[in-house]
Amino acid sequence: MSTKNITVREAAPSSLADGPWIRSRKFDLIFLTASGVLVFLPYLSYGLLQRLGASTATASLIVGLAVTLLVGGPHMYSTYLRTALEPRFRERYGWLAYAPLVIIPALVVIGSFYAFLLLLTAFFFWASVHVTHQAQFISETYRRKVGSRITTLDRLLDGAVILGALYTVAMYKFVTGRFTMGSSTLLFPEFLKHIWVAQAFTAGFAALFLYYVIRTMGEIRRGEASWPRLLFMAATVGLAFIIPLFDNLDVAFQGFNTWHSLQYLALTWFILTRQADRGEIGSGFVRGLSGISRTRAFYAAMVGATVISGGVYLLLWRGLGMPQDRAYYVVVLSFLLVHYFYDHFLFRDFAPLQEKAASYSRS
């Protein structure tokens, strides 16, 4: 049947799972929360490589490639299993499922040649929003698991406190011209390059954070909070604040990317496994990579996609003579920004994480 006019009726909170965890205590702690310790691994590896004699540039490159191959690339390409490769997604969203596959790569190519700094600045800002949106999605899922009342203010506060933590220290680097990615200093309006701007941002975030803590304490007293969500949000906000403190922001954000990508891969694997069990996957190719018994195939396929994209990058750089940094960003950002676009839809759909199969009806 046609699914263009399909709507999803969310199950009542009581049907959402047996307990406050998204999958299980062990799964959530390993892949969603406690794995936050991994944010320090890239920087520790970066320092170790330098001690072993590698130059700063070489150490940064090795760390970046390792993160990209093991989790960064695989998490990015796993998005396409639930979107561009899934007939139900294409039917549900129509042209919005196809347009970004053409428009976004075209804009990346144009930007890489004619507005490179603008492209990098836009990428960083969208990346920070994307990471925040994923954390919001996880936080709201935890709220739904215990049947909490969820308001627009709850969603906005979760996002604001994470984004504010990420930008508080970063703002000092923006206003002093020290926020660099690679050899490029990201764009920031000249009229805002004053220390008082960063100080005002810090004061605003401090007030927001205090309000968030007081509001959360009220939720705890009323029995509306769950410890899995509180642990997750505490880890996310704390680490978001710490990451920009490091000198080499490329390596530091690779740490945050490691944690974010592992969360994403784990959630995608879990969702695809559940959908495979329910018979909700419309693509034979995706079904072949979904399910507990196909975990290795799922991960191997995503690593394989990363390796292939690396080959395209080498072709553009070595084969066609495109400047190395341009070739890298043309390949990576073309796929990455489409991934961001698709996730604005996926992070608004909680049906795949419901305990019971979603109920579909014609509207």
pLDDT at res. 113: 87
pLDDT at res. 363: 28
pLDDT tens digit sequence for 90-145:
999 999 999 999 999 999 999 988 998 999 999 999 999 999 999 999 999 999 99
pLDDT at res. 4: 40
pLDDT at res. 6: 34
Share of the chain above pLDDT 70, in %: 93
pLDDT at res. 49: 95
pLDDT tens digit sequence for 15-47:
344 579 999 999 999 999 999 999 999 999 999
pLDDT at res. 12: 39
Name the least confident of 46-60, 218-232, 348-362.
348-362
- To the question of pTM greater than 0.75 for the whole model, the response is yes
pLDDT at res. 95: 94
- Give the separation between CA 69 and CA 67, rounded to whole angstroms: 6
Which residues on adjacent β-strands are paired with residue 84? none
End-to-end CA distance of the chain: 13
